[in-house]
Structure 1
Amino acid sequence: MHYSLLDARVLFFKESKEGADIMCKSMEDLRDKSWKEGHEEEKEQTVLRMLESGKYSLEDAAFADLTQM
């Protein structure tokens, strides 16, 4: 690499135990955040489908138990 500071940081994250632990934690946090955002979006889509079907009132859709998703 042409940049010694960048080279040192890459080596730290790739080759040291502490760097690998930091990267693993960062990736786990990113995964959890992405899953939560996707799950919330799916809940919103489900409520919209419930309303569009005409079978559910706004109150029914708003308070539906969507924990089974």
Structure 2
Amino acid sequence: MKDFFVSLLFFGLTGYFIYLIVQNMPQLFTETTTIKQYGLLVYRLIMVFVLFNLGIVSSKNYKRSKPA
């Protein structure tokens, strides 16, 4: 049961980082965009991939540990 809640947590965090990326999208790719903003975008994209993969792994562990 723990793996189920952990996977929900990871999927929720993934959604939060996707929200942050989409919210700040209009500020990107303008003439005044700084390296810091690009770095933050890359960091958030990496976090989305990592957290989503951890959520998938946790949900697979939950399905595997369920009694048949």
Query: Could you state the TM-score of these two structures normalised by the residue count of structure 2?
Result: 0.50
Higher Rg of the two aligned structures? 1
Query: Could you state the TM-score of these two structures normalised by the residue count of structure 1?
Result: 0.49
Larger RCO, structure (CA 8 Å, separation 6 or more): 2
